[in-house]
Amino acid sequence: MSQQLAEKCLKAYLAENNLRVPKIHQLEKLLGECKKISLDFNKLNEEAVVLSEYYIESRYPGDFPEGFSWGDADKAFKAALKIKNFVFNELGI
């Protein structure tokens, strides 16, 4: 869920800036598109990498991720919040 929160926020930023929203889920690529508008998005590289670890195993119904701890969930949630708060700030929300 944290990965998806970050993904939707980055896509919202692109949409708000009248750019094509690619039908992808890779946060690093979405972040690259956002950097075309503002290089300040470089501040989110680490968070994008952290969240990308959780994309594949937990994306689709019936795929129950194994091997994740509460610590992993906390790290992912904090990374997603940083991205969300950054994007909201950029959008003036």
On average, the pLDDT of the chain sits at: 89
Task: Note the pTM of the prediction, 2 decimals.
Answer: 0.86
Count of H-run helices and E-run strands, the chain: 5, 0
> How many degrees, rounded to 5, is the angle at CA 47 between CA 45 and CA 49?
70
| Closest-CA residue to 30 (of 87, 78, 82) | 87
pLDDT digits (tens, 9 = 90+) for 44-60: 999 999 998 877 654 55
Q: What percent of the chain has pLDDT over 90?
A: 71
Give Cα 41 to chain centroid, integer Å: 11
| CA–CA distance, 55 with 59 (Å, rounded to integer) | 6
pLDDT at 6 over 70: yes
pLDDT digits (tens, 9 = 90+) for 14-46: 999 999 999 988 999 999 999 999 999 999 999
For the chain, the structural domain boundaries read: 2-91
CA dihedral 72, 53, 29, 14 (to 10 degrees): -40
Q: How confident is the model at residue 1 (pLDDT cuts 50, 70, 90)?
A: confident
